Structure 1
Amino acid sequence: MTVTLGEEIMLLSLDDESGMAKERQSAGWAVAGGIVLELVMAGRVSVDRGRVTVTDTTPTGIGLLDDRLKLIDAWASKKSRPPKVTDWLTRDHGKAVSATIDSLRERGLVGEEQRKVLGVFPVRRFPEADGTTERELRARLAALVLHNAVPDERSAGLIALIHAAKLHRLAFPDRSRKEVSPRMEEIADGQWAGESVRTAIRNMQAAMVAVTVATTVTVAS
């Protein structure tokens, strides 16, 4: 089973028992960014100088990615120049979370419960249904960050997104940020991928920082 970067980030965010998303806003940015980065690695999209370009509309065969590819292509085609990737993340991060959760549910990795708060307000929750994938993911992250294993380009991209969106507690709930941040930064800045993917990772990191800072400032004001 191929689990996308966005799905991996969502698995880290969803509480296994309650099914509620932790750090939902920041996780949303990272999920949307993960989908874009996955499309870069699939050769469908490029991200350079902070702008996103669709280079190939051929379906990947993964529904979550192909749906986003169509949406990015339709949106970008209306622009006179390649649009900013931050604009896409701002536009899509909420919808990307819903689409990613639906994908996890369809794959049988999370379940779905519908309840009413105070007997009136409907709430959907997505508790863990099959924890194998998440356990393997957390073991892989621990090997890379805590035990200095050598990452592949997908793992490097995942860690770069988690680090840029400040989701350290989701990935390593029993460790302080100071313990894991230096190694995560080292992986994010390393030479683990081809030049086009490294460029995309750097751009996605910058985009994550920009949108999360903007969100923090907006909430604070």
Structure 2
Amino acid sequence: MESPTETPTEIPTTLGEQLLLLSLDDESGAAKESAKVALAISAAALVECALADRIEVTDGRVTVVDATPIGEPALDAALALIVGKERPSSAKDWINRLKRDAMAEANAGLIAKGLVREEKKKVLGLIPVRRYPEADGSVEVAVRRRLDAAVLEGATPDERTGVLVALLHGAKLHRLAFPDADARRVAAAMETLAQGQWAATAVRQVVKAAEDALTAIIAVTVATTVVAGS
């Protein structure tokens, strides 16, 4: 099958912004699975830096090969932190470090691109909250179309779609992308795609490191939650 491609009119977005779009309720603007999504967005920033030939993974550590800014605020902020680190750290360390600002930076990007709008409200008249309802649904529709083609229809994904599938799979966010599909079928298809050869070797190494780190972090988080609640 032919690979799904982006339509000419689609607004360019980062993988982190695409992940956030999948998590936001279109009408209320509330985020689902926010803890996992923040981790996935952090992992996406690492992979985007690899896609731009700025970093690679060597002996399990993230190393800089080019410190030139990419031109996307959230990605440049992540790259600057990595460049400024005296000693290389693992993908897991970076995902944990970058998650603090991941959601805010992705939201800022979506607002700047006119895809969501910010609404400030107070819960119970006291607690201030921010919500990000949809302003332009064209990008989310295009992203979901590519995911459907790759995961449900068997189309060969392009590089960025393959990365997105791997990140969703690693963060256990299958239901965000495919809320109505058979969960087992989706998980199996995403597992197969995540192991595919849709990216250059250097990028695949970063994707694999990020995916493994996501799985490990989330497993620990779930275990800690279960123990705390027992």
TM, length-normalised to structure 2: 0.91
| Aligned-partner SS, 1:192 | coil
C-alpha separation between the residues in 2 aligned to 1:150 and 1:110? 30
* 1:218 CA drift (Å): 2.0
The two structures, once aligned, show a CA RMSD in angstroms of 1.2
User: For residues 114 and 47 of structure 1, what CA distance do their matches in structure 2 show?
Assistant: 40
Change (3 A) 1:209 1:49: farther
The list of structure 1 runs, each at least 4 consecutive aligned residues, that deviate by more than 4 angstroms after superposition, is none
Q: Percent identity?
A: 46
Q: Partners in 2 of 1:43 and 1:179 — Cα distance?
A: 34
Q: Secondary structure at the match of 1:46?
A: strand
Deviation of 1:49 (Å): 4.1
Equivalent residue letter for 1:33: A
Aligned residues: 217
Please give the residue correspondences for 1:1-221 in structure 2 after superposition, counting only pairs within 5 Å. Answer: 1-74=11-84, 76-77=85-86, 79=87, 82-221=88-227
Separation in 2, partners of 1:154, 1:144: 12
Whole-Å separation in 1 of the counterparts to 2:81 and 2:217? 20
Q: TM-score, with normalisation over the residues of structure 1?
A: 0.94
> Is the 2:16–2:42 Cα contact (8 Å) retained in structure 1?
yes
Helix, strand or coil for the counterpart of 2:156?
A: coil
Gaps of 5+ in 2: 1-10
**Unaligned regions of 5+ residues in structure 1, if any?**
none
SS at match of 1:17: coil
Is the 1:169–1:176 contact (alpha carbons within 8 Å) kept by the matching residues of 2? no
Query: 2 CA distance for matches of 1:47 and 1:24?
Result: 27
In structure 2, what is the Cα distance between the partners aligned to 1:171 and 1:96? 19
Whole-angstrom CA distance in 2 between matches of 1:20 and 1:2: 23
Task: Give 1:110 shift.
Answer: 0.5
